[in-house]
Amino acid sequence: MTSFDAFDGLDGAEPDDGLPPLLRRPQPVADPLPVTKLRGTRKVLLDNPDTSLDENAASAVTSGAVDPVRLRALVDGEPVSLLTAKPVVGGTLYATAPHFRYLDLDVLPDFINQRWADQLHTAMDVAPSPALVTSYETLTDAETGTPYAVFTVHMQDRKALAQAVAESMRKTFNAQKRENDYTASVLQQGVKEPLMLFVMRVTYTDGTTDTYLVSGDGNSRLVSMWLARTGGDIEAAISACTASVIGSTEHSGERSRAEQTAARRRVGELTARVRKNLAAPTLTEATRREGHTVAFPATVVVGARADDGARLPDLVAARDDLLANLHVHVTAWTPGAQNTQGMQRVYRHARGEDLITPDVYRVLSGTVGPQLMHELLGIPAHRLWSAAVHQHAVLAAPHADGMNRLIKQEFGMGKADRQRISDHLAPMALSAYRSQEGIEQPLRAFGNGGTITDTVWKRAWELTKGDDVFEVLDDVLRRALAGEAGAVAELTVLGGTAAILDGYITRDRGSKEGTDRDSRKAPFRATPVKLLELLSKTAGGLQMLYSIAHAHVAADPAVLPKLYHTQDRDVDGVRVRDGEPMLDKTGEQMIIDYEWDLVYAADPALAVATVAKNRAEAKAKTDGKPEDPEAEDARQRRTLEQGITSASKAARALARMSRQRGKGVFGTFDGVQALRDQLDKLDEILVAFGPADTSIIVIDDEDEEGGE
């Protein structure tokens, strides 16, 4: 165990055994008071006119304070209250002045997961994970409907709560390449800046409840305190937090009074041990870890008032607005995270203004799966329609103007044009596909204008209802070919989204012109929205959008999107018309292999002209010498072989590492399962489309029997 001389001036000392140099000695902390001695502080808190808590919430705020007497003075309304007013959209939040709180008593990391909402799998995803976006609301009185400055969240049981906390702590630990790990800072000087906490009521399936304080701003520091106490091991930190704050996860129902009393007793033992060891001649490693993680400074949101003085009805929107200003605009969160949170707030405001229905809001929030979406809205039970619901809610008349206004307000835009709308909408519209490999490319394409063509943007169109996905697609195509503008818009959204998701419409590749048919090129430059505009104006283009959507929904390697002519023209002396299938020399209908094929078919005349121009320019650069490009099939075989070889080497290396470090080197179970699913799909493709083994001789038993 590392020891330090407590009286020889440790500031700036070299670290010993990996500990960073000590900059500030831990301070002695008082033992937690018995609950019976907290009643006066609790009463003062409830009596303050700026607070809006119920009794259980007031107990949670009071019971974890290191110095309840000081807390009472901070919130006492007579003669002065030191509650801090924090303006938010629609009203004001009131928070306590900074005061110290015990880490172990009723304080949990932010398991709401808003910070990683752009990464978490929604209930609509085919690969759901334990880290679903947690749905939480403002707590209201069941009889009067009065809102409190308390959140309410539903969990199946305490085990589910513990899993949500564990996932949040892991994500916090690994976020931004662990740049937000403050463990060393905690061990050097403790926590200086106050963390902001919100009261959270957890309601379990059996009807029982627990009340906690949940971190909002400062979550990384809170997790780092548990890391510092447990030696930097995230799994040990998770276990310690769960055991200390949540308690046993094997029993259903709320925490018993005995469990809460035992937690206070353990904190008392910890504070007493720290005080004793701080008085010793040497400062041990254990004392240093425990002393800097016994308590931390915090402010707690205890009140929420609307502009008219009434209690604020939507604490969730207020929290998001407050944290967006405190944290997102200061810390380099990813644009996807900022756009996701911003659009979530837009949806909440839209629900409040009746721009969307409560059922639509449930789908937009990602908390319902395909079947429940079908039951709520009547549209097909497939996640492609979930993406369409997002686009319909934001883009279609008559609510498009109102949504446009909310988006401008939320993101501070002077003008919300199609490019900006698609960029901010992308992580939400494609949220049901977050588990898809390479989802970053579809997000870029959708953010480059997406499906917002003239027929989609601020025009009236609806999503066709029905039970059978393919029957609905057939109906939409029939009406689109008949010239119904709403059906054209609907098919543009469904087929265009599927094309973006399946790589037939991209931004980074589609913007690169080429002279040869290649998966990385296109014959002419076309943004996704420009390409969809071309396709939606021809019968052949509509047929291809239908075919792409059909193949996407079928999810069968044998079902591939087909090519159609988009112009009346002569092909090898044969007159073809717009909408007719595009046939190869054997008379079979051609399929869409690459984005090249779709772009070429969208405007053959422009494609031919652009390719001719580029070939002439290339020929001029090479002095007329023809290039000898590698055959496309050879290049793809080489890429396949290299990828499998690299994957095999990586798997074997991780297997060797697992002997010393455990199976955790492979990542999470969900991650490994996703890799296995990809390998299974690859095997299916190789079996279905690869050559058969001609060396195998099949013996027909029936013929042999007949010969006898």
pLDDT of residue 482: 97
The residues with which 92 forms a beta bridge, in sequence order, are 87, 305
Q: What is the rounded CA–CA span in Å between residue 320 and residue 637?
A: 49
CA nearest neighbour of 50 among 80, 86, 94 = 94
CA nearest neighbour of 152 among 135, 133, 139 = 139
**Torsions phi, psi of 449, nearest 5?**
110, -25
Question: What are the structure tokens assigned to 90, written together?
Answer: 């629609």
Q: Are residues 298 and 412 in the same domain?
A: no
pLDDT of residue 507: 80
pLDDT of residue 10: 36
302 domain-assigned: yes
pLDDT of residue 528: 94
Q: Are residues 316 and 353 in the same domain?
A: no
DSSP for 640-675, written as a single string: HHHHHHHHHHHHHHHHHHHHHH-GGGG--HHHHHHH
Largest CA distance in the chain: 111
pLDDT of residue 625: 57
458 domain-assigned: yes
Question: What are the structure tokens assigned to 425, written together?
Answer: 């909408």
Q: Which domain holds residue 135?
A: 3-320
DSSP state of 328: I
CA 472 to chain centre: 30
Considering 263, 292, 320, which residue would you say is the last residue of a domain? 320
Q: What is the rounded CA–CA span in Å between residue 371 and residue 392?
A: 19
Q: Which residues contact 608 (CB under 8 A, 6 or more apart)?
A: 523
Residue 514, CA distances (Å) to 48, 185, 250, 612 in order: 70, 53, 62, 10
| Cα torsion angle, 551, 553, 557, 558, sign | negative
Q: Are residues 367 and 298 in the same domain?
A: no
Q: Are residues 451 and 548 in the same domain?
A: yes
Q: Which residues contact 110 (CB under 8 A, 6 or more apart)?
A: 168, 172, 214, 215, 216, 219
**Are 336 and 443 within 8 A, CB to CB?**
yes
Q: Which residues contact 535 (CB under 8 A, 6 or more apart)?
A: 492, 495, 541, 542, 544, 545, 566, 598, 602
453 domain-assigned: yes
Q: Are residues 253 and 349 in the same domain?
A: no
Q: Are residues 313 and 445 in the same domain?
A: no
643 domain-assigned: no
689 domain-assigned: no
pLDDT of residue 177: 63
Task: Pick out the chain residues at pLDDT < 70.
Answer: 1-18, 113-116, 128-134, 176-179, 326-333, 508-511, 622-632, 656-657, 659-661, 693-708
Considering 320, 345, 370, which residue would you say is the last residue of a domain? 320
690 domain-assigned: no
pLDDT digits 0-9 by tens, 538-547: 999 999 999 9
Q: Are residues 316 and 345 in the same domain?
A: no
Question: What are the structure tokens assigned to 283, written together?
Answer: 């400062």
419 domain-assigned: yes
Q: Are residues 107 and 223 in the same domain?
A: yes
The three-class DSSP label of residue 107 is strand
CA nearest neighbour of 228 among 30, 3, 29, 18 = 18
Considering 577, 606, 621, which residue would you say is the last residue of a domain? 621
Q: Are residues 293 and 356 in the same domain?
A: no
Q: Are residues 380 and 460 in the same domain?
A: yes
CA nearest neighbour of 540 among 588, 578, 492 = 578
Q: What is the pTM of this model?
A: 0.73
Q: Are residues 524 and 595 in the same domain?
A: yes
pLDDT of residue 626: 54
512 domain-assigned: yes
pLDDT of residue 620: 80
Helix (H) or strand (E) holding 4: strand 3-5
pLDDT of residue 702: 43
Count of the separate structural domains present in the chain: 2
pLDDT of residue 128: 63
Q: Which residues contact 292 (CB under 8 A, 6 or more apart)?
A: 26, 186, 187, 189, 190, 191, 225, 228
pLDDT of residue 495: 98
- Region for 253 from its dihedrals, namely left if φ exceeds 0, alpha if ψ lies in -120 to 50, beta otherwise: left
CA nearest neighbour of 488 among 538, 447, 444, 530 = 538
Q: Are residues 232 and 380 in the same domain?
A: no
